[in-house]
Structure 1
Amino acid sequence: MEVLGHRGSRVPGPENTVEAVDAALRAGADGVEIDVRRSADGDLVCVHDARLSRPAGRAIVRQPTEALRARGIPLLDEILDVWAGRGRLICEIKNQPGQPDFDAPRERTARALAERLRARGWTGPRPTVADLDAGAGGITVSSFDWFAIEAL
């Protein structure tokens, strides 16, 4: 059985933050799942919802990175730095029809994620079951958008 921190840990929270990811891994989770979206600047950020709750309804994809960071929304790179191979990492690309950041079939978010992982040297053959059993961290990318998976 594998225990994953969904968006990190709710304690200390909030979800999808550096603190939440670190807390889940320190508590003994085998890995974490995070949500990945794109800012107006094209940076990858970790946040579940497509829109900010306040000011009401502002789409993440239409907000500059610095405005999102001021609200506590971390860059993907910050999450990757704290994760640093400490177990499994599941990056869910949030890209669904009807949401303001839906970009199929261009898949800018998926392509940007692939580039970030490639730049860090984290692409290549899948880890084997023996690798994972030995505690090697692996990255899985998921999405409800099959175009995103195809792009990866």
Structure 2
Amino acid sequence: MRTEPLQLVAHRGDPVHEIENTLAAVRRARADGAALIEVDLRRTADGECVLLHDPTSLRLWGVDRPVREQRTAELAPGIPLLRDALVEAAPSALLLDLPDDGPDPLLAHAVVDTVRAVRAADPSVPAPSYCGGLTAMRAVRASEPSAEIRLTWKVPEPIPDEILVELRPRSWNPPHELVDAASIAWARAHGLEVTCWTVDDARRAEELAVLGVDAITSNRAGALRRELAIHTR
């Protein structure tokens, strides 16, 4: 059973009112009360970590080139650096989502190094959490033994015990359609929180809250916080 209020995680900042994965979206989510703000990460040709969901910058920024082939100076001006987003989000924390579509083997190491550098310069910046698939989370765990991991899991079958031992995730992080009473019971039996995505409908969010999930990621996190007849954070 959940012992703390339901956490509503802001998906890509606030993509309803701002362009997703921008500093403006992060600021909006922070101002709207999000304690945790999810952002997506990619790595540029010169090794900088930036906020972007897609492998190319076409959909949002009109440039049909892979981010990994663009140097930081070539990127569209609206694409922010991770180092700036970490500072901009504070005192809220970031949930760093690492892609699993042809994963970049160096991304996780670059992300962890960036987090360390930012927090060394400003200890008031909260430590982020991490989410993503197996390959990415293995790289995070190897780079940062103390990292808080929300292990993204997209299939109905439960996470094998050996992976739980290897990665030590804090939560099982499935799409919300996989969450029911039985799957929550499995997670609790394995000492896992249940954090799911992406829920914009208040009725479904309340169903999940009643079931006992710990966190819901939403494009409408601020609105859901106001709409739900439950105690959220």
Cα separation, 1, equivalents of 2:142 and 2:76: 27
Alignment match, 2:113: 115
Alignment match, 1:131: none
Tell me if structure 2 keeps the 8 A contact 1:7–1:15: yes
Runs of 4+ off more than 4 Å: none
Cα separation, 1, equivalents of 2:55 and 2:130: 18
TM-score by length of 1: 0.75
Match of 2:63 among 55, 67, 70: 55
| Runs (5+) with no aligned partner, structure 1 | 123-135
Q: What secondary structure, in the 3-state scheme, does the structure 1 residue paired with 2:7 have?
A: coil
Shift of 1:91: 0.6
Tell me if structure 2 keeps the 8 A contact 1:143–1:149: no
| Runs (5+) with no aligned partner, structure 2 | 1-5, 144-233
Alignment match, 1:132: none
* Bigger Rg, structure 1 or 2: 2
Cα separation, 1, equivalents of 2:111 and 2:38: 15
Alignment pair present for 1:78 and 2:78: no
Question: What whole-Å deviation, never above 9, does each CA across 1:2-39 have from its counterpart, x for those lacking one?
Answer: 11110000243101011000101101122200111100
What is the aligned length?
129
Counterpart mapping for 1:90-101 below 5 A: 90-97=95-102
Cα separation, 2, equivalents of 1:31 and 1:69: 26
Shift of 1:142: 1.7
Alignment match, 2:128: 139
Cα separation, 1, equivalents of 2:33 and 2:119: 26
Equivalent AA in structure 1 for residue 21 of structure 2? N
Identity of counterpart residues, as a percentage? 32
Which structure has the highest strand share of the two?
Answer: 2
Equivalent AA in structure 1 for residue 63 of structure 2? P
Q: 1:112 to 1:11 in 2, by over 3 A?
A: same
Tell me if structure 2 keeps the 8 A contact 1:110–1:151: no
Alignment pair present for 1:23 and 2:28: yes
Which structure has the highest helix share of the two?
Answer: 2
Equivalent AA in structure 2 for residue 55 of structure 1? V
Tell me if structure 1 keeps the 8 A contact 2:26–2:89: yes
